[in-house]
Structure 1
Amino acid sequence: MPNGTVCQLVNLPVVIGDVVTSVTVENVTCLDEQAKKVDHIDVVVRDLEGEPIFGGIPANTSGKPYPYPGHNSGQCTSPTATIHVGDAVCGPRELKGIRIFGTIHKQIFYVNKLDDVRHMGEDIEFTKVIDLKPPLIVMNSQNIEIDFRNVDLSVDFDLHKSIRIQQTATVSFLIKIVEATQMFISIFPNGCETATLGIQDTFEDFIGDVPSNWQGTNVGPNPAGRTGEAVEIGVCPTRPASLAQNVPNVVGGQSYELTFWARSLEKMTDPCCFTLLAQVMFLDASGNPISTVDQTIHSQDLSDTYRQFRITGTAPEGTASATIGFVFTPEPHNTCSVLMDDLVFAPF
């Protein structure tokens, strides 16, 4: 438990995505007898379930697979399977879609030739695959749950030849994709230390041209953020730029992950020619570097659409703090800058 008794490691459900969608189910039902009319149909959805559809193991930004125990075995145990000793441990995966199953239960009320009100029931099973574009990256496919909210159901019908009912049922709902995630929470009024929780920055607050709590050169705010504003690195695209922040109280032996979203910003029609070095430097109590993990992003790796990058590393024993840094290096004829948003540095 880092920071003495101030924080407690807990396992919490975290919503990593949500989708509003619907399923339309058509069918024809033959009544047991001829009818003058169909009075109404009562409908309800039962056994609504979602099954995640995973793709392959995603490559990190260095082009190599994420290192986690068991990933070389080639198979990752299904989230619904029993796990045995020696099974592969699931690490980061691409969640490509959700397969939905359910049953529409109906009670059909109709008036027969003798003007008696009768009813009959039926169950219609349905399934649909919802594609996620782009796919979601999940850290452990064993920890994914699918939750359905705001479920609504409507049905239209038409009676043909006194016995055949043409029906169209529409089921609409909100799918919440939840991943169980370990994190440290405060159990004392003074709260957790900053580094235990890491940092999270959406770059909404600036002091002059530099984001709050950061140091930087040739940077500035830009309204074209992924969520709200973004920080622009390389405001003058032909000059180098840098952005850095120190995070105190980083715990030795703990694994950390830096994630951020980035895109290029073309200011003229000339091609983009630059590199962006993203790095996490672990420091000892005297401020001396112990180790560094980094990733070089080339201009051809970016476009005018935001893309998420991840850098992971374990703080060596003796680590006291970390410095998160970004260095923008342009070619002489470069005409592009980089927009960055939604940065998170946290243990995992």
Structure 2
Amino acid sequence: MKLHILAILCMATTIIQAQEETGLWTSDRPDGHAPISVMGDHTHSKGDWMFSYRYMHMNMKDLHQGSSEASMQDALSQYMVTPKNMPMNMHMLGIMYAPSNKITLMAMANYQSQEMELQNRMGNEFNTASSGFGDLKISVLYTFFNKNRQKLHAQVGFSFPTGSINQEDVTPMSAPNKTILPYPMQIGSGTLDANLGLTYLKEWDKLSFGSQLMGIFRTGENSNDYLLGNEYSINNWMAVPVNSWLSFSGRVKWAAVEKIHGANPDLNPMMVVTADTANSGKTYAEAGLGFNLYAFKGSLKDVRFGFEATLPIYQNMNGIQLKNQETLTFGLQYSL
């Protein structure tokens, strides 16, 4: 009789523990992390570390005014020079550490390079380029709850002005000397910026969902007398785990970027489209498709590889600006 009671108690304990374990949201599946382009999407358990590397290629090409296409002639009727396209490449390094089950610390650094092809009223084309380390971001992620296979956490962080806002290059008008480049060609913001976010996660056996609200809030003016606009976004994604090591994801993002306040006195707003702050700020939406690979055992255990391709589905520009085109993001993540 005692053995039967002991066996029943052991079974009951096992069932309760299993219910508690399955009641928690977990990252131990391929869709346990968001699409690779989403940052700050998850937290870690006490004592866990994660190191990450991401590479992003973004292309901007052709002109947009409001929500309609604009021609080169439209731009050159108002400015001496107009951009034609601007590819940008970014390398991002990240580190996360959890001193407790509630708190995860995150730091991200990046190196970016970009090139802009331009044309003047005479039809002559030329290129400018810039590169360097961007602004350093440090954040704290706080988990409010993790139950019923749902999780909610907040992000509070700051972006430190380590990126240059004094990038220069030679143009036909300045040759043989270098001149300050317009706002899109600068690497950093030049200001201390607050990064605030809220992320909700939900898992089912064969599906997962995530939603993230993010805001970047600029403070003060930088040393060149301007302030980049605040940014607001909402990211929503769903992912389907095909098996224990592969998942596919779909993502939709809506974002708004405010206009630049102030102006760099060394830039002539009548010279080139990108030097006029009236041509800054926009609202846009984009959609992405991607996959995550997760090594759940073996010598590569806890290594993840992610890929996502993104295309714009809506753009509404202030003034005349280059349109967003494709964005490709690759990334590796390793937890221990």
TM (normalized to structure 2)?
Answer: 0.22
The higher radius of gyration belongs to 1
Question: Whose strand proportion is higher, 1 or 2?
Answer: 1
State the TM-score, normalizing by the size of structure 1.
0.21
